[in-house]
Structure 1
């Protein structure tokens, strides 16, 4: 059972997801700057850069959006030309194009957009021009994978693409068909608006943070949803009812004077989880550092001395750290390249156990990730899809004295 705790404030909405008493996901959406990811725009090409194989598109925001050549070619790899054409052959300055935001503006860069359109539903992701069916790898039963693939092949029109989500496992045809029909209607509406609108203009905005997370992570029957705002709770109940074919699913409204996050122990877990140094229950520590290019995580035994041998002490610390790191990567919403400096282990079987623990916990994460493997220096490399700014960065402020170096220069020159 999971608990989704929502804190609604005038200037922002925050969501915390708890599983087995542990905080596993946290997200904030500011009222004045709603998330762009998933939104559709009719934009105008303002610059084409053959040297970067990319174009900049005006979508009506302060910074122009970045459109890479791979996001202009057909989304189905088998339908792409063997030799990649120049971006100049595909786009011209002044050309109007419908794009979808795939990444928020990060570190001064504009949002990244694509023409590989996708509309996520409860059971499937609808891709109007992708021309293939894929089934979530997390559905492991082969007979069920085959059933869902055949089902969606029968449902889709020529040229359409469908990704079957994990929650579709064992769902009846009627539920999946209803989801697909709704998403098809959304796409038709987007096309109608695109035909009438002048560029740049917004054509479709994705759901609110609460609705997105209800759609993506909440089991309406088993999980608990708690909101500290009656109006938002009513809207959530309406969305749950729509998603559950008219079944009324109550949402708990929190009324107490104490902060909802404090009452559910979220503030304490956030404070520990977003710290630079995180202490494990054994006494070991995990230290996090962020650079422009990657996130570096260092594992130490610290106060944990073990009982029998150095190899056992190190391995137990690493196993505990691997489980906690996987949880915190999701909680912090860390994206891009991640390098973990586990404590050196002599036995290959122990190294493999650490990777297996990391993989098993990261499978629960909705964001796509890949464990690349060990380097010659004994570092573990992995990547995670980056869509938004890391959660920990949102709560940081660059130091006026050290400008983010972590050190203050105390040298006085006379």
Structure 2
């Protein structure tokens, strides 16, 4: 079984799963009330220039102001990117046409660039550039030369020679002149419309929105290895058929409408995979497991042998576990969409050849990931440092929020710790206020401990302060919260 794409669409959200050999490799989610901004082009206004950071905040009409660094400036009439101080190029109140290169993450606004681009099936058009490139995934030198020659011929035929830069996308492999000319005409019309809107804009506003997720999926993710695209919405299946007829006729025959009673994602185990991808622990078939922790600065992955004991010796057990972990963690990074700095703590290996094989396995697995990534060697401590391109929120950031109980720590204080905090608070209150009685209001576990394990300490404290202490359970209270009421 080869690769397939599953598209689940409801009025509230669109979800896409890329499945390879029956295992989910990637999950993309777009909600109707909060569509992503990546790739959108805006008319913006500079609201603050930050010389110390060589950057500026830009209002694009979004909830949070966005951010642009001087290295992302490509202003009209310039050769290449901006160089020097940001204040030489930007001033407060200045109008700026920008494109989102990174979605807002956490409390950070979107990352912007003035190096604008719009995409079609086979081409990326960059109006402010002059470079012509070919996707690195097309590795045949002859095919790369053929495509560049066809593009030059097409640009001349469509009167676009010398107008902007282009990148030939992976999907362009094997296509002919007429397909490229069709894309050139589409991009020419699209950019003319964006330019008109930009000239007419008087306030921060959206000029161009990327396609909705189900159409982007077909445009960007369908490769020769994708056997079918299953869609569970009849209306959107017809919309995809029309889109493919206009822009990607060769894909039309791979579209299928799923009309089964059982939900599409349930049938293929995607719901289960999503739930697992929100957990810390990932089981390996051998009995080993991964522990994945995501923080704001980086993500860490710890590899453990678990119940796997091997057949020969400890070194073989460690080696086999690390090999399986390397393949699994590459899939989990893509599935969870973890980006930025990633530290992998493989189990220590004494054999240098084993370390090399684990690294090669990891590199091979990560080569299938469409996100740019870079891997260092396996150190003597078994640590691997990686970076992975981060352009949008991770799966957990999209689907989850900070725990209101632990405030994102992942831990809460023990009942014993809370009891001792209560004792200290009682001592402070007894000295500060003239009262005969104090009442402790706290969670059930805390009151239970005060009545049981800490009962002798409560009695001693009553005698010490000369005041009566009563206890009462406060239902549904935060496990760390308590109150001392004075009578």
The TM-score, its normalising length taken from structure 2, stands at: 0.79
Q: Deviations over 1:155-189 (max 9, x none)?
A: 36326222222222222232233223322321121
Partner of 2:453: none
Q: Are 1:25 and 2:17 matched, yes or no? A: no
Distance in 1, Cα, partners of 2:264 & 2:91: 52
Distance in 2, Cα, partners of 1:247 & 1:21: 21
Partner of 1:79: 80
Partner of 1:120: 119
Distance in 1, Cα, partners of 2:318 & 2:132: 45
Distance in 2, Cα, partners of 1:29 & 1:180: 28
Partner of 2:45: 44
Q: Are 1:171 and 2:172 matched, yes or no? A: no
Partner of 1:53: 54
Change (3 A) 1:109 1:347: same
Change (3 A) 1:282 1:214: same
Deviation at 1:296, TM superposition (A): 0.4
Deviation at 1:128, TM superposition (A): 1.5
Change (3 A) 1:183 1:343: same
Distance in 1, Cα, partners of 2:151 & 2:358: 37
2:272 pairs with 268, 272, 275, which one?
Answer: 268
Tell me the SS of whatever aligns to 1:223. Answer: strand
Give structure 2 stretches of 5+ with no counterpart.
424-487
Change (3 A) 1:80 1:67: closer
2:241 pairs with 225, 234, 237, which one?
Answer: 237
Deviation at 1:341, TM superposition (A): 0.6
Tell me the SS of whatever aligns to 2:354. Answer: helix
Change (3 A) 1:20 1:247: closer
CA contact 2:349–2:380 (8 Å) conserved in 1: no
Deviation at 1:310, TM superposition (A): 2.4
Distance in 2, Cα, partners of 1:164 & 1:301: 45
CA contact 1:39–1:101 (8 Å) conserved in 2: yes
By relative contact order (CA 8 Å, sep 6+), the higher-ranking structure is 1
Distance in 2, Cα, partners of 1:245 & 1:378: 49
CA contact 1:116–1:129 (8 Å) conserved in 2: yes
Partner of 1:12: 13
Distance in 1, Cα, partners of 2:280 & 2:183: 42
Change (3 A) 1:95 1:379: same
Q: Deviations over 1:111-151 (max 9, x none)?
A: 11111112222222221222112222222222222323344
Matches within 5 A, 1:131-150: 131-150=130-149
Tell me the SS of whatever aligns to 1:354. Answer: helix
The TM-score, its normalising length taken from structure 1, stands at: 0.93
Deviation at 1:29, TM superposition (A): 0.7
Tell me the SS of whatever aligns to 1:17. Answer: strand
Partner of 1:357: 361
Distance in 1, Cα, partners of 2:118 & 2:188: 9
2:348 pairs with 331, 344, 347, which one?
Answer: 344
More helix by share: 2
CA contact 2:121–2:248 (8 Å) conserved in 1: no
Q: Are 1:313 and 2:314 matched, yes or no? A: no
Q: Deviations over 1:333-377 (max 9, x none)?
A: 111111111111122322222222222222222221121344574
Deviation at 1:70, TM superposition (A): 0.6
Matches within 5 A, 1:322-401: 322-374=326-378, 377-401=381-405
Tell me the SS of whatever aligns to 1:51. Answer: helix
Tell me the SS of whatever aligns to 1:249. Answer: helix
Distance in 2, Cα, partners of 1:120 & 1:371: 29
Change (3 A) 1:250 1:281: closer
Deviation at 1:237, TM superposition (A): 1.0
Give structure 1 stretches of 5+ with no counterpart.
none
Change (3 A) 1:407 1:245: closer
Distance in 2, Cα, partners of 1:353 & 1:137: 25
Distance in 1, Cα, partners of 2:252 & 2:14: 24
Deviation at 1:222, TM superposition (A): 5.2
Distance in 2, Cα, partners of 1:221 & 1:310: 39
- The number of aligned residues is 412
Change (3 A) 1:315 1:184: farther
CA contact 1:280–1:286 (8 Å) conserved in 2: yes
Partner of 1:407: 411
Tell me the SS of whatever aligns to 1:334. Answer: coil
CA contact 2:4–2:226 (8 Å) conserved in 1: no
The structure that has the greater radius of gyration is 2
Tell me the SS of whatever aligns to 1:23. Answer: strand
Distance in 1, Cα, partners of 2:221 & 2:144: 21
Deviation at 1:403, TM superposition (A): 1.4
